[in-house]
Amino acid sequence: MGVLLIMLTGTKLFDMFGVPVPEWYTGLQENKMMAMVGVFFMGNMVESSLLSSGAFEVSVNGEMVWSKMETGYLPSLEHLISLIEDKLGAGAQQFTPDFESLGGAL
C-alpha cells in the first residue's frame, strides 16, 4: 500500500522530506502499470498467507484477550467486546467500537 502511495504522489513525497529521488523510484515511474499490478498481487499473497496461518490474537495492555490459535475459532464481535471490557475493568470507560470510521455499520 505504501508503494502505491509513493507512486501516486510522484516526487512530491521525496521533496517534502528533502530526500533525493532514489533510482528504484524512477524505474517504478517508467513502468507504472506493471508496478501497480505487482504490488496488487504481492499484497494479495501476503494477505492470504496471513489469513491461512489462522493467527488472530487480541491483547489489551499487553495481556492476551483472545487467541484463535488456542481456541480454534473466531469470537463473535459481542463476545470480543465483552472480553475487552472485562480486561479493562469495571472502573474503565465503556468500550464502544466506532464502525462509522470503518465505512459503515456491521
pLDDT for the residue numbered 89 = 79
- Summarize pLDDT for 61-73 with one digit per residue, the tens: 888 888 888 888 8
Query: How do residues 12-63 score in pLDDT, each as one tens digit?
Result: 888 888 889 888 888 888 888 888 888 888 888 887 876 666 778 888 888 8
Q: At what angle do helices 2-9 and 23-30 cross, to 10 degrees?
A: 80
The per-residue b/e assignment along 18-34, b for 16 or more CB within 10 angstroms, e otherwise, is eeeeeeebeebeeeeee
Q: What's the pTM?
A: 0.38
Element (H, E) at 40: helix 32-52
